[in-house]
Structures are given as C-alpha cells and as structure tokens.
A and B are shown apart, each in its own frame.
Chain A
Amino acid sequence: MFKSKKESSVRDLVDDHLSRTEKCLEAAQSVFVAYLAGDLLAADENATKVEKYERAADKLRREIYALLGEGAFLPIMRADIHALVGDLDDLAGLAEDFSDAIVGERPEIPPAYREVLVEIFDKTTHQFSELKAGIHQFFFAKRIDEKETRKIIHRVAQAEYEIDQIEWDLTRQIFDSNLPLANKLHLKHFLGQLTIISNKVEDVSDTLSELMVKLQA
C-alpha cells in the first residue's frame, strides 16, 4: 500500500544511467587507445558507441526528471537527486566531447606524453567505478554504510587531486617543450577536455555527499 513504484523506478533508472555512463566512458577510452595505436577505423567505431551510450543516458535522465516531477522521493532530497542525475549525464556528455575531439580534431600527441594521458584516463575510470559503487550503495543498500560512503567520496576527491597534479606537471612539460605554439595550445585544450571528466566525477560525489547529509536530517 505504502511502497512507492515511482521511487523504485527512479532507483532502477539511476542504476541503468550509471551503467550507460560507465560504458560511455569505457568506449571513449577505447577511442583514445585506438587513436594512439593509429587505428582510426576502430576509433570511429568506438566513437559511434560513445554517442549511442550518451543518447541512452540522456533519455534515462529525462525519464528520471519526469518521475521526480511527479513526486518521487521527499522534496528535501528531490532537488539533490535531480542535480546528481544532471551531473551524471554531463559526465557522459564530457566523455562524448572528448571522443569527438579525438576523431574530429585528431590532435598530434608526441609519444612522450601518451603514457601520462593514458594514466589520467585509467585513473578517471577507476575514480568513476568508486563513485558508481557509492551511488549504488546510496540507492540500494538496506542500510547505508555512512562511513564507507564517506570513504568513497574521499577517495574520489583524492583521485581528482592526483589527476590535477599530473595535469599541472604535463602542462609544464608541454609548454617547456620545443613544440610549435599552436600544438602546445591544442594539446593543452585536449588535456583540459580529458581532466574535466575527473572534475565532473568529483562534482557528482559532492552531490552524493549533500544527499548523505539530508538523509541524516
């Protein structure tokens, strides 16, 4: 009598959205790896997958918004769940932007920087896996383990900090190099498109943190 189908649907849709966003990120990573290996055909194929997952995530976001608008969850949490899903969707959008930048702009990446860029992407996907576990716990646990969720939020923030450090070091290396200025600026822009994904993962974890506070109210 009192169980809410809307809330159950929102939880399932958020879970589905997380999976699509994760696949979107993995496909974007595949685009990058294929591009670095010189396999442009594979890069294009994976870019198509990125678009497909991003569109699917976008559709899920709209369905979640509609259910929230119909009154799923208490109002005190509704706005934060809305924000969380919005940020999550932006994340898929940023992965698509990164993928488009590779196949569209085809940046020249000197071999010396490739390993570091791959490391940043690895750290980002790992960071997202942590976030996914935290969000899943929040929505599905019979009793939320607050300490564990706080640890996850901390690890997500730590990963973002580490990626920031790597970005700074790489930026210095790029601008200390003998590359033409146009290449330097292009690489810097490309690097920014990669690291912004990690920033967005941290934004989502901040919203999760706000939801945790409201749950304790």
Chain B
Amino acid sequence: MWQFTSGAFLGWSLGSNDAANVFGTGVATNLVRYRTAVILIAVFVILGAALEGPKCMATLGELSKLKPELAFISALAAGLTLFIMSMLSLPVSSSQAIVGALLAVGMVNGSANYSMLIKIVLCWVLTPISGTILGIGLYLLLRWILQPLLNSMRWRTPVLRTAVILAGCYGAYSMGGNNVANVSGVYVSTGQLSTSAASLFGGIAIALGVLTYSKNVMLTVGKGIFALDAYSAFVSVLALALSSHIFTQIGVPVSGTQAIVGAIVGIGLLKDMRGISRKMIAQISLAWIGTPLVAAIACYVLMMIGSLV
C-alpha cells in the first residue's frame, strides 16, 4: 500500500501544475471563479481518467520491467522532478519525467524497450507541432464562425466566457485521460492495480492537486497566456484539449503544456509575434532534454539509496 504514496505525490504535483493550462486564462481574466474552475477541473479530470485513461496505461508499462519497489521509486523520482523544476520555474512535463525515470530503471535492470521509447519521443516532438497546427486551424475556423458575436459588446464577454468554460472542461477531460497513465501506469505494469482502479486512483490524485494547490500557478500562467487576448487564449486551450485527446487515442501520454505552447506559437505566427515563438521553442527544447535527464538521475540516486542498483 505504501508504494502508492509516490504515485499520489506525482498525481498531486501534476494536478497543481497543469490545472493552469486549462483554466488559467478563465480565472486570470475573472471569466470564471477559481473555486468553480477547480471543481470543474477535478470532475472532468476524474471523468477523463476513468473513461480514456486505460488507453495510455500499457505504453508506459512496456517501457521497462518493474517490481513494486521500482514502481514506487520511479513515481517518486518523477514527482520530485516535477516539484523541484516547478519550484525553480523551469519548464517541466510529467510525461517526460516518468519516462526519464522508467528509462533509468530499464537501463539499470536491462529491460529498457527502446522501440517504445522512439514511439514516445516521436509523439513528444509531434505534440507542440500538432498544437501549432491545431492552434492556427482552430483560430481561423472559429474566428470565421464566431466573428459576428465577438464583434459586439453585447455578446463578446458571454460568448468568450462560455467558450473558455467549455474548452477548459474539455481540456481537463483530455488532461485526465492522457496524463493519468503517468501517475498510476507503473502500478498496472507491476500488477498491483487493475487498469480501471489505476485510472480512478490517478484521476483522484490529480484532482486533489488541482483542488488543494493550484491557485498560484493558475494565476501566474493564466496571466502569461492571457497576454495574447481572450479569444487566442481560448483557442490555445481548445488546441491543447484536442491535441491531448488525439495522442490518448494513439496511447501515448504527452505534455499538455507543450501542446498549449505550440498553439500559442501558431497563433503568434499568425499575428507575426516571432519574439514570443522563439522564447517558447527554447523553453520546450529545454524541457525535452532537462526533464527526462533530471528524472533519470533522481531515479538512479533513489535506487542507489534503496540499494536496488
């Protein structure tokens, strides 16, 4: 039972960090109250985890062979990576952290599945690209559809508020479906939990992080995203939700943050804001390299401490 504590910690860290991606804009702009936002996220994260979560569980299980104590250590290493890098305000992704940790385990016990790693890394590269493509496509399409309503002071705020809430709920659903495997997938591969039990456990852990510790990140990130404008921010969240949902169907957990950053880059390109794009691309690149590396080192150190090397 104690081995689940690290997964709960990872889920809590993920929830407290990633809630900002889906409702940060709405909260920072007072379109949605913080309390309402976190309740909506918690509900839709659990729903997404329960309904879509099992699709990604197998992928992480195939990355390396785990025993219960190694599952505990890899989830703990990923959780610590998430916690420390967030504290240092460095870009971080739970998917990349858990993969880094599992890879360290696989390299140590000789069970690393490199073909699966290639599939996962390919999806990481495609995540911001899909975010960019979806961001551009949705921006143009929805502007064409919504322009008559957005071009009215009578309708602008109600329409944007509704859009931000719907996109946020869908984003939370996709986040739960895609990221729950990062939290509890390791317990499925050890046989400690069934797929559905792991989905529920991970979903609740993420929801707890959202409910208890997401306010500061949500306001900070939300204001950063909102620097564009409310409509662009709504499109970014929708692109994140759609992108994560697509990768869930492929069965690969990806970074929601990188999907939304990709969408913002796309919208930035449409608006000729190349400065923002360069900075964000640099951040993604840093996360690709930094997160798995830190998680792998943390996992190796924890294995040494636990005399499992």
A143 and B151 contacting across the interface, CB-CB below 8 Å = yes
**A217-B229, A217-B231 are contacts. A74–B152 as well, Cβ < 8 Å?**
no
Interface residues on chain A, number (Cβ under 8 Å):
21
Question: Which of A2, A73, A144 is the one whose CB lies under 8 Å from B152?
Answer: A144
Task: Indicate with 1 or 0, residue by residue over B160-198, a CB within 8 angstroms of chain A CB atoms.
Answer: 111001000000000000000000000000000000000
A168 partner residues in chain B, CB cutoff 8 A: none
**A2-B162, A7-B157, A217-B231 are contacts. A75–B151 as well, Cβ < 8 Å?**
no
Considering only CB atoms, which chain A residue lies closest to B28 in the complex?
Answer: A75
**A71-B30, A75-B29, A76-B230 are contacts. A215–B158 as well, Cβ < 8 Å?**
no
Least CB distance from B276 to A in Å reads: 15
For residues 14 through 42 of chain B, which have their beta carbon under 8 Å from a beta carbon of chain A? 29-31
Tell me if A178 is interfacial: C-beta within 8 Å of chain B.
no
Task: Indicate with 1 or 0, residue by residue over A142-156, a CB within 8 angstroms of chain B CB atoms.
Answer: 111010000000000
Task: Indicate with 1 or 0, residue by residue over B129-160, a CB within 8 angstroms of chain A CB atoms.
Answer: 00000000000000000001011111111101
B157 and A215 contacting across the interface, CB-CB below 8 Å = no
Least CB distance from A146 to B in Å reads: 8
B30 and A3 contacting across the interface, CB-CB below 8 Å = no
Whole-angstrom distance between the alpha carbons of A63 and B156 in the complex? Answer: 22
B156 and A4 contacting across the interface, CB-CB below 8 Å = no
**A2-B158, A2-B161, A2-B162 are contacts. A11–B153 as well, Cβ < 8 Å?**
yes
**A71-B30, A74-B230, A75-B30 are contacts. A4–B158 as well, Cβ < 8 Å?**
yes
B157 and A73 contacting across the interface, CB-CB below 8 Å = yes
Question: Which of B151, B152, B165, B229 is the one whose CB lies under 8 Å from A76?
Answer: B229
A144 partner residues in chain B, CB cutoff 8 A: 151-153
Tell me if A121 is interfacial: C-beta within 8 Å of chain B.
no
Tell me if A98 is interfacial: C-beta within 8 Å of chain B.
no
B151 partner residues in chain A, CB cutoff 8 A: 143-144, 146, 215-216
B230 partner residues in chain A, CB cutoff 8 A: 74, 76
Whole-angstrom distance between the alpha carbons of A11 and B155 in the complex? Answer: 12
Whole-angstrom distance between the alpha carbons of A3 and B155 in the complex? Answer: 8
Least CB distance from A163 to B in Å reads: 30
Task: Indicate with 1 or 0, residue by residue over A1-17, a CB within 8 angstroms of chain B CB atoms.
Answer: 01110010001000000
A142 and B231 contacting across the interface, CB-CB below 8 Å = no
Interface size range of chain B in the complex: 20 to 34
Give the interface centre of B151, B161, B165 by most chain A CB atoms within 10 Å. Answer: B151
Least CB distance from B268 to A in Å reads: 13
Whole-angstrom distance between the alpha carbons of A129 and B229 in the complex? Answer: 32
Least CB distance from B150 to A in Å reads: 8
B157 partner residues in chain A, CB cutoff 8 A: 4, 7, 73-74
Whole-angstrom distance between the alpha carbons of A25 and B154 in the complex? Answer: 28
A74 and B160 contacting across the interface, CB-CB below 8 Å = yes
Whole-angstrom distance between the alpha carbons of A175 and B162 in the complex? Answer: 63
Considering only CB atoms, which chain A residue lies closest to B161 in the complex?
Answer: A2
A190 partner residues in chain B, CB cutoff 8 A: none
Tell me if A140 is interfacial: C-beta within 8 Å of chain B.
yes
Whole-angstrom distance between the alpha carbons of A27 and B158 in the complex? Answer: 39
Tell me if A138 is interfacial: C-beta within 8 Å of chain B.
yes
A215 and B156 contacting across the interface, CB-CB below 8 Å = yes
Task: Indicate with 1 or 0, residue by residue over A68-107, a CB within 8 angstroms of chain B CB atoms.
Answer: 0001011110000000000000000000000000000000
A141 and B152 contacting across the interface, CB-CB below 8 Å = yes
Tell me if A139 is interfacial: C-beta within 8 Å of chain B.
yes
B31 partner residues in chain A, CB cutoff 8 A: 74
A3 and B158 contacting across the interface, CB-CB below 8 Å = yes
Least CB distance from A7 to B in Å reads: 6
Considering only CB atoms, which chain B residue lies closest to A70 in the complex?
Answer: B30
Whole-angstrom distance between the alpha carbons of A11 and B226 in the complex? Answer: 24
Considering only CB atoms, which chain A residue lies closest to B162 in the complex?
Answer: A2
Least CB distance from B34 to A in Å reads: 13
Task: Indicate with 1 or 0, residue by residue over A206-217, a CB within 8 angstroms of chain B CB atoms.
Answer: 000000000111
Whole-angstrom distance between the alpha carbons of A4 and B153 in the complex? Answer: 11
A71 partner residues in chain B, CB cutoff 8 A: 30
Binding site for B on A (CB under 8 A): 2-4, 7, 11, 71, 73-76, 138-144, 146, 215-217
Binding site for A on B (CB under 8 A): 29-31, 148, 150-158, 160-162, 165, 226, 229-231
The 5 closest A-B pairs by CB, nearest first: A71-B30, A217-B229, A2-B158, A2-B162, A2-B161
Assuming A2-B161, A74-B29, what are 13 further A-B pairs, CB within 8 angstroms? A2-B158, A3-B158, A4-B157, A7-B157, A11-B154, A73-B153, A75-B30, A76-B230, A139-B153, A139-B154, A140-B153, A143-B151, A144-B151
